[in-house]
Structures are given as C-alpha cells and as structure tokens.
Structure 1
Amino acid sequence: MPTWKEITTRNPDHSQNYADRWDRIAAEGNDIYGEARLVDAIAPRHARILDAGCGQGRIGGYLAERGHDVVGVDLDPLLIDIARHRYPEASWKVADLAERIDVEPGFQVGVCAGNVLTFLAPAERPLALKHLYEVMAPGSRLLVGFGAGRGYPFPAFLEHAEAAGFEVSQQFSSWDLEPMKPNAGFLVAELRK
C-alpha cells in the first residue's frame, strides 16, 4: 500500500479529487456521516474530540456542528484548508500522526476513520498510535476503523495499540457495530486509555 505522501507526490491532484469524491457521494444522497454519528453517540455533550486524519473535515465538522470542541489533524494542507473553510467552528491543524501531534492533550474521545493508519508507512503506524495515546485523556476512548487487505493486518494493529498503552475494549466489523467475525473485511476498534 502506498502512503498518502507517496500518492500525493505522484498525483498532485489526488487530495482535491479525494475531497470532490466525498462531495459527489453526498450529492448523490448517500450517508457520509455514519462514523460521526457513532462518535457523537458515545461522547459526552460538548466533549473535546480529536479527529485524527481528518481529511476535509467530514467527521469533525459534523461533530463540531453538534456542539463538540473538535480538533482535526491531517498531514494534507489542501484538505485542512477545505476543512477550515467549510467548518470554521472547529480547529484544524496540519500534523503528521507519525510525529508528535502539536495539540493540547486531554481529548475525551477520538476518531481515526477512513483507512488513515493504512496510509502510513508500516514503521510509522506504531508511532502514530503512541502519539495518539499521548494526547488522549485518562478514561478516554479512541475509535479506529480501516479495511482488510490494505497492508495492515488486524492482529498487528491490535498488538501495536496495546503496545502504545491502549486497552482494546471492543471490536466490530463496521461503523454500525456489526459483530466482529473471522475473516471480516473491516475493523472498527474501540481503544481505551
């Protein structure tokens, strides 16, 4: 799997195409907020929420519009610019999850959706989980979701999450909480600090 940096280096239009794709999906009447609704359901009202790998702000923007204090981070400056324009009520920062995340720690809830971790180099994935652990509050929950067959086997991810300090409290095969089954094509893990 190529990293996001490799993809955007090869195709400078990739980030805009990615944002446009989500706009098309929404314009066709499809639901693009399932992950955000799940996060909203588990978060206390007016929670401090981290959207890690936020892209153009689809999830974090939804949560900010519902009164949460959202900080979104992404390594793609173009996507962060789109997020800032569309959802000014949230805070958006350019940041690489594989490096220390320059945000005030203490997030009550976090979300890392959209295959974000699979777009990091294999050696960067454990670092990203360590950095996410560092900014989450004690007792917090981080929801991470990504598809199978993207070069990050689920057992390796779970091992990395535990090595970072998280407790893997639940695993599902979809954002609508379908039970995890052997050979599932998708993983949503709830990690607790």
Structure 2
Amino acid sequence: MTDREAHLKSLMMRGLDGDAAAWRVLLTEMGGHLRPFFARRLFGDASDAEDLVQETLIAIHAKRATWDTRQPFTAWAYAVARHKLIDHLRRQGRRPTHPLEEAAELFADHTVEDGAARWDLGRCLSLLPSRQRRLIEDVRLHGLTVAEAADRHGYSVAAAKVSLHRAMKSLNARFAPANDGGAAHED
C-alpha cells in the first residue's frame, strides 16, 4: 500500500468514525488530487473540471457508507470520479476533443507517394532472407553503423559487410534496369 493510499484511507476511516477534522482534510486533499485528474481528461477546461471536483466530493460524502473498508480507498474514490466524468460527457453530448491546432502530431509528415515508396521498398526487401533484410534495414534505413548492426544481429563486422554487399548486389541484379551492353544513343 502506498503512503498516499494509507494516509487517505486513514483519514476516511477516521471520518467514518465521526472525526470531522479528518473528514475535512480528506475532502481537501482529494480535491487536490481530483483537479488534475479531471483537467487532463477535459483538456484543460478548468470550469468543468472544478464542477466535477465538487460533484465528486459531494458523491464521496453522500456514498461514504458504500465503501468497503477492506478495499483501497483511492480506487473507490476514483471510480466515483470516473462515473461523474462519464455522466458529464454524456450530458454534454460529445466526446472530449483537442483544438485542431494542438493535433499536429496526428497528421503524418509524409505524402501518399512516401507511403507508396515505403510499401515498394518493403516488398523489395521481403525478397531477401530475414537476417539480410534486418541488416539492411538497420544500416540503410535506421542509420546504424555496420558495427552496431553486426553486434545487434550476431555478425562479425566483416561478415556483416559481406552480407550487406551480397544483399545489395542481389537487389541490384533483380531491380536495376536491364543493361543490354551499350548505352542508349540519341540522334
């Protein structure tokens, strides 16, 4: 049991036994824990968060007799808070949202062509044995040194260099334009 849980549970037990001072401290401290809990879930809507803190504290007070003293207090209190949050969101008829300006990380930095190129590259590399494929991905795509990739995949550095060379030669033979022995001439 954490120190916070033990402390809050002790306050709750004393409050249930009629200790008004302990009850006030419990509600004050729970308010301090509930404010960030609601603020994170309401994306900084401070007025709604404060309303939910007050509703939750009232519910904790009103339903205190339903808490099983053999169970953790904070789990029960946060369950009450989650129910208050769900009720609030249902009343609002919406789901929590971020302003669009703050959602830049949801949008990809690549184009459709980038996705097609990655898909083509994946198909080409899938023709290689898995150890060679992973070695090429680490060195050519993820920027590891040959020594780092060799160590990661259980190769010696020399063996990794040979394997990379053979893999690149195999891909080149498979996908390079056919060379018919001479350069194309333009007239």
TM-score normalised to structure 1 length: 0.23
Structure number with higher relative contact order (C-alpha < 8 Å, ≥ 6 residues apart): 1
Which protein is richer in strand relative to its size? 1
Length-normalised TM-score, structure 2:
0.24
Structure (1 or 2) with the greater helix fraction: 2
